[in-house]
C-alpha cells in the first residue's frame, strides 16, 4: 500500500476566453479553451490519522489565513465526506505559482488533491464522480482534474476534451501583482458588458494562427483598466521575436506568449527575467494530450 504520493498541479492557461452572457444568479457564461503546462504547484500527500495542511514554496507567504480555509483542505474534506470515510492525510502544498493570477492555482491545487487522495486512499472513484465533488469547490476545478486541453462552456461545468494538433513552447509572466476576479468583472460590467456570440463549433483551433485570428480574452481590456501592469506585461511579450500569440490568461494578471518550441521559450524567458527581475517568469511547454 502506498503511504505517500506527490502530484503536480499544473498551471491552467486560457488560450481564449469569451464571455457569452450572464445568468440570473449573476454567474457569467463563458466559452474557453483550457490548456495546461507540465510545471506547477507540488502537492505531497501522506497517510496520517487526521487531515492537516502545510504550505511551503515561493508564494507560501501570500497565505495568511487558516489552513482549513484553503481550497486544498476543503477538497480533501469533501472527498472524505463523499466517500463516507474518516481517512486522514498530511498534506504539503509547495506553492510555486503566483496566486490570484488567472492561471487556476487554487483550482488546480484542489483538483490535484482530489486525484492524489483518490489514489492514496485507494478509493478508485471514476473521474465522473470526482467531477461532481470538484464542481462543488469551484467552477474551474472540474476542468483542472484533467491535464488534457478542454473546451469549457457554461459556467465551467460543460467539458469537452481536445487533442491539440500543434505543439508550443510557452512563457508565462506575472508582473508581481494580485488581481481579483471580482474587480475585473466589475470593470467589465462598467465598460458595458459586451457579450460574445457563442461559437458555432470548437474549430478551427487546429493552428496557433487560427487561435490568433478567431479568438480573444474578453476580460483583457477590463483587466488593463483595473491594473496597468497587465498592459506592461502584454506589451513586453508582444514585442518579442518569434512570438506566435500573446494574451492574458483568465482574469489576469498573468499573461502568456506562445513560441514554436520550448527551447525558444526558455531563451526568451531568461531575457525577460534579466530585464524585469521583479516579475515571475516561467518557461514550459503546453500539454497537447493527457498524461494521466
* Separation between Cα atoms, residue 277 and residue 133, nearest integer Å: 40
* Known active-site residue 12: yes
Among the options 12, 74, 94, 262, which is catalytic? 12
Among the options 140, 147, 262, 284, which is catalytic? 140
Q: Which residues are catalytic?
A: 12, 140
Amino acid at each position: 500500500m502506498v503511504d505517500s504520493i506527490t502530484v503536480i498541479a499544473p498551471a491552467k492557461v486560457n488560450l481564449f476566453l469569451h464571455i457569452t452572457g450572464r445568468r440570473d444568479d449573476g454567474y457569467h457564461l463563458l466559452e474557453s479553451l483550457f490548456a495546461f503546462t507540465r510545471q506547477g504547484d507540488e502537492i505531497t500527500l501522506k497517510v496520517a490519522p487526521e487531515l492537516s495542511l502545510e504550505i511551503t514554496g515561493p508564494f507560501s507567504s501570500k497565505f495568511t489565513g487558516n489552513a482549513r480555509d484553503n481550497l486544498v483542505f476543503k477538497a480533501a474534506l469533501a472527498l472524505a465526506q463523499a466517500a463516507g470515510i474518516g481517512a486522514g492525510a498530511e498534506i504539503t502544498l509547495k506553492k510555486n505559482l503566483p496566486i490570484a493570477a488567472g492561471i487556476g492555482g487554487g483550482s488546480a491545487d484542489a483538483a490535484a488533491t482530489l486525484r492524489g487522495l483518490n489514489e492514496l486512499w485507494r478509493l478508485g472513484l471514476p473521474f465522473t464522480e470526482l467531477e461532481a465533488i470538484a464542481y462543488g469547490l469551484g467552477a474551474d476545478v472540474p476542468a483542472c482534474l484533467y491535464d488534457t486541453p478542454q473546451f469549457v462552456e457554461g459556467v465551467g461545468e460543460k467539458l469537452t476534451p481536445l487533442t491539440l494538433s500543434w505543439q508550443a513552447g510557452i512563457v508565462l509572466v506575472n508582473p508581481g501583482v494580485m488581481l481579483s476576479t471580482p474587480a475585473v468583472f466589475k470593470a467589465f460590467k462598467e465598460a458595458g458588458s459586451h457579450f460574445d456570440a457563442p461559437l458555432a463549433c470548437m474549430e478551427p483551433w487546429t493552428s496557433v494562427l487560427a487561435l490568433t485570428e478567431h479568438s480573444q480574452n474578453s476580460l483583457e481590456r477590463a483587466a488593463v483598466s483595473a491594473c496597468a501592469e497587465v498592459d506592461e506585461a502584454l506589451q513586453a511579450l508582444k514585442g518579442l521575436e518569434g512570438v506566435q500569440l500573446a494574451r492574458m490568461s483568465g482574469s489576469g494578471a498573468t499573461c502568456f506568449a506562445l513560441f514554436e518550441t520550448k527551447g525558444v521559450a526558455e531563451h526568451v524567458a531568461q531575457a525577460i527575467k534579466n530585464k524585469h527581475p521583479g516579475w515571475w517568469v516561467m518557461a514550459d511547454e503546453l500539454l497537447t494530450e493527457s498524461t494521466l
